[in-house]
């Protein structure tokens, strides 16, 4: 039986999920419940989705845009793509065989033999680190985050280029001590090419209302983007693109 992937949505000309112009696919299903998640409609892997593709069907769809993404590639995000590892691995295999760059946006929170096999065909990982401190990570995402750091160790051992993503949230992850600790933790990892500091925003709040889910960060204002510039200046880590 051919693999079928449950897909939430597709962005044909993505510019923020990896280098260059990218064909970005948002996979359905996620084990985390991040307080600031702007895609709560991707959580339930059993939910009815607009799209269901086999890997070859999604590959064919991506190849419709090959001339546009030839300097970029394809990205799988979510949700958490590693909840559908067989689909991800086969799709990435087809892409790589066609010379298309593959990027995986993941929190690394699902570690099994199958999920790690996805890395055989992954050119770049966008690794979402919720928080370095286990207690804070639990508060932010519902998980202590230790799997993420084991996943990072795996990326290091396989020498897979990695971009770290970290959402800076007022009252939660926005403090100098936590940020400096994360920077220091990442310094020994030579696979880490850069850290993307993402400002907390409220663009997905309307989805919680539509789903009838209370928004966990009600009343917290979006992060001032000037704060991101302060963090970049504070950062001693050397970005290597």
Per-residue pLDDT reduced to its tens digit, 95-144: 999 999 999 999 999 999 999 999 999 999 999 999 999 999 999 999 99
Element (H, E) at 73: strand 73-77
DSSP bridge partners of 124: 103
Structural tokens at position 144 = 């202590």
For residue 198, how far is the Cα from the chain centroid? 12
The pLDDT assigned to 203 comes to 87
Closest C-alpha among 48, 38, 42, 32 to residue 16: 38
Residue with tokens 């995986």: 104
Residues with Cβ within 8 Å of 216's Cβ and at least 6 positions away in sequence, in order, are 35, 36
Cα–Cα separations (whole angstroms), residue 37 to 44, 52, 111, 203, 207: 13, 23, 21, 10, 10
Residue 220 lies in a domain: yes
Q: Does any domain span residue 142?
A: yes
Predicted confidence at residue 233, as pLDDT, reads: 87
Domain contains 241: no
Domain count for the chain, please give it.
1
Residue 82 is given by DSSP the state G
Residue 82 lies in a domain: yes
Range of the domain at 140: 5-234
Asked if residue 200 belongs to a domain, the reply is yes
CATH number at residue 106: 3.20.20.70
Q: How confident is the model at residue 236 (pLDDT cuts 50, 70, 90)?
A: low
């Amino acid at each position: 039986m051919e693999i079928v992937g449950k897909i939430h949505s597709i962005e044909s000309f993505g510019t923020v999920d990896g280098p260059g112009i990218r064909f970005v696919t948002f996979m359905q299903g996620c084990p985390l419940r991040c307080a600031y998640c702007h895609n709560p409609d991707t959580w339930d892997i059993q939910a009815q989705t607009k799209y269901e593709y086999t890997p070859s069907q999604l590959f064919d769809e991506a190849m419709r845009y090959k001339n546009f993404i030839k300097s970029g590639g394809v990205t799988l995000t979510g949700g958490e793509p590693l909840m559908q590892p067989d689909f991800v691995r086969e799709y990435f295999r087809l892409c790589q065989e066609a010379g298309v760059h593959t990027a995986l946006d993941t929190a690394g929170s699902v570690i099994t033999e199958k999920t790690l096999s996805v890395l055989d065909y992954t050119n770049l990982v966008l690794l979402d680190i919720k928080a370095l401190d286990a207690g804070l990570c639990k508060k932010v995402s519902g998980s202590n985050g230790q799997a993420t750091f084991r996943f990072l160790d795996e990326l290091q051992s396989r020498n897979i280029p990695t971009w770290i993503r970290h959402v800076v949230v007022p009252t939660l992850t926005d403090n100098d001590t936590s940020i400096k600790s994360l920077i220091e933790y990442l310094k020994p990892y030579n696979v880490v090419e850069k850290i993307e500091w993402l400002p907390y925003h409220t663009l997905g709040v309307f989805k919680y209302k539509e789903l009838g889910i209370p928004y966990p960060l009600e009343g917290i204002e979006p992060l001032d983007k000037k704060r991101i510039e302060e963090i970049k200046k504070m950062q001693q880590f050397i970005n290597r693109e």
